[in-house]
Homo-oligomer: A and B are copies of this chain.
């Protein structure tokens, strides 16, 4: 097993951009958490939940692999949650499309281990790792808030009950306030994109 800790995949859930390609070769990118679990013998195992109906699941079923792109760019998380990235964002690594700007790439082969009503649980086995850029980066609460707001916004789109939406919207504004106070340029750009997408897809 390759050393994934050095490539940014620690214990717990690592939030990355997963890139895949369709049977026809079309690239796709979506934010997904890589779940790391330790066996009783201390061996690390990696999983993802791939939701039914998602392009990522269709591509993984078609090709049997996916790439994890490790990045701390707030804009990439928001864009890939809502839109297709332009072809210029991708390059290739070990036969898969990957994000040119990512700090590290890990290509995994996939094995279906569990079928649930809403998602399939897939075990990952690392096949190739490339570290592009190591850095020192202080924690930015604005970046954190963009990630939480993106998770929430993804849910907001599928919530139809008006009162529940109101609660979530209020929560979203709390995250927006943290981004405005603590975020840098990329975090503020990300929030702007998130607002546009939410109002476009789900006017209240």
Contacts and interface: CB of A to CB of B under 8 A. Distances in A.
A182 B33 CA distance: 9
Contacts of A182: 12-13, 33
A89 interface: no
Interface of A: 6-16, 33-34, 36, 68, 70, 72, 77, 103-104, 131, 133-144, 147-148, 151, 181-185, 187
A148 B139 contact: no
A127 B139 CA distance: 22
Contacts of A137: 8, 10, 70, 72, 137
B12 A70 contact: no
Contact of A139 (B14, B138, B184): B14
Given A6-B135, A8-B137, A139-B144, 10 more contacts: A8-B136, A9-B138, A12-B183, A12-B187, A13-B181, A33-B141, A104-B136, A134-B134, A139-B143, A144-B148
